[in-house]
Amino acid sequence: MINNSAVPYWRLSSFYFFYFASLGILVPYWSPYLKSLGYNSLTIGSLVAILPATKLVAPYIWGWLADHTRRSMLIIRVTSILALLSFSLVFINQQLWWLAFAMLLFSFFWNATLPQFEAITLNHLGNDSHRYSMIRLWGSLGFIVIVVLMGSLLETNDADIIPLVVLISFVFIAVSSFTVPEKLNAPHASHSPIWQVIKQPKVLAFLAVCFLMLCSHGPYYTFYTIYLDGLGYSSNMIGILWAVGVLAEVVIFLLMHRLLPQYGARKLLLVTLSLTTLRWLLIGFYADDLVILFIAQLLHAFSFGVFHSVGISLVHEYFTGSHQGRGQALYSSTSFGAGVAVGTLASGMVWDLWGAEVLFTLASCCTLLASGIVWKFIYR
């Protein structure tokens, strides 16, 4: 818990809880839903890639607007409502062109909210920004709750229930956004263009690492559930495996406020990228062994928990003052946007041709390359 009474801990935490609950449906279960509609692997990969692809543009547009209006919470509230309304379009028609349109529209608004909310959270925390993970862990708990719940629901219901649960989660996101107070970013003396920040070697290297790390997650986000289902695992067990990964993430979030000041970004990134490389190889080659799968899921503590905490910290350090909103948006666009989109599209193309072993080996190559970039360009 954060001791500073000025920080609206529970209101910030509730937004993370519901936002990542929606992610806990979309990431593991949207691909199986599309498969239930009869779409092939390439089409599924292309449709799922729409969600991160909009992060290439949407967060930066909304980030620019937030930095110039200094009304981040108003933008979050408006885009949360528009995301809810846009997603309801998927109930009208399930044809490919209509689904693609609906997913493009709702993700344009949905992807606007999180980067701005990260900036709001860090502004509320002020000098205690290293305690960000204590709030963010509630997002992970939301993911765990919904992913286990969905696993149980799918044992007795067909995949048509998935869009309905997503819609309900969007309602809660919109409602919780109205409980969080605005917190303006601190004015900054420097009015230099944001490109002056971006072109620094350490910033470019950091963005490249973010891209490669999340690109490596493409196979996991798109085909992990389908992969395990094909190996004979039950919906309940698949839900539990997803939950184990995020539970490990929660544990590391509880420790990050100590680990980050003690070890620094560079060491944590190198350890994280090495363990993520191991994780993809374990999933690719030993998925028929449940014990190995559990070990691989525990490594999610590093491949997401540590990496994201370090990433948010570095963005807050590199992008200050009037650049905060766009800095968070750029981080989101590069990693969860471009990285996941490329990884997802590549997965859709590789899956049917060469299978899981080749695909997860390629994922491990991405994290190995990212390790080399950290070693050379990111210093203490």
Structural domain spans, the chain: 9-184+192-377
**pLDDT for 5:** 61
Q: Mean pLDDT, to the nearest integer, of 71-97? A: 93
What CATH number does the domain located at 9-184+192-377 have? 1.20.1250.20
Listed residue (339, 337, 363, 336) closest to 350, CA to CA? 363
> How confident is the prediction for the chain on average, in pLDDT?
88
Residue 18: pLDDT over 90: yes
What span, in angstroms and rounded, lies between the C-alpha atoms of 84 and 29? 18
What span, in angstroms and rounded, lies between the C-alpha atoms of 157 and 153? 6
What span, in angstroms and rounded, lies between the C-alpha atoms of 314 and 206? 8
Residue 261: pLDDT over 60: yes
Q: Comparing 12-16, 132-136, 140-144, 284-288, which segment has the lowest mean pLDDT?
A: 132-136
**pLDDT for 321:** 67
**pLDDT for 380:** 62
Residue 187: pLDDT over 70: no
| Residue 313: partners with Cβ closer than 8 Å, 6 or more residues away | 129, 130, 132, 260, 265
**pLDDT for 360:** 95
Cβ atoms within 10 Å, residue 351:
22
- The proportion of the chain whose per-residue pLDDT surpasses 70, expressed as a percent, equals 94
What span, in angstroms and rounded, lies between the C-alpha atoms of 170 and 18? 8
If DSSP codes are grouped into helix, strand and coil, which group holds residue 186? coil
Q: Dump pLDDT digits (tens) for 2-15.
A: 555 677 889 999 99
Residue 232: pLDDT over 80: yes
pLDDT band at 197 (very low <50, low <70, confident <90, very high): confident
Torsion angles phi and psi, residue 214, rounded to 5: -80, -25
DSSP 233-244: --HHHHHHHHHH
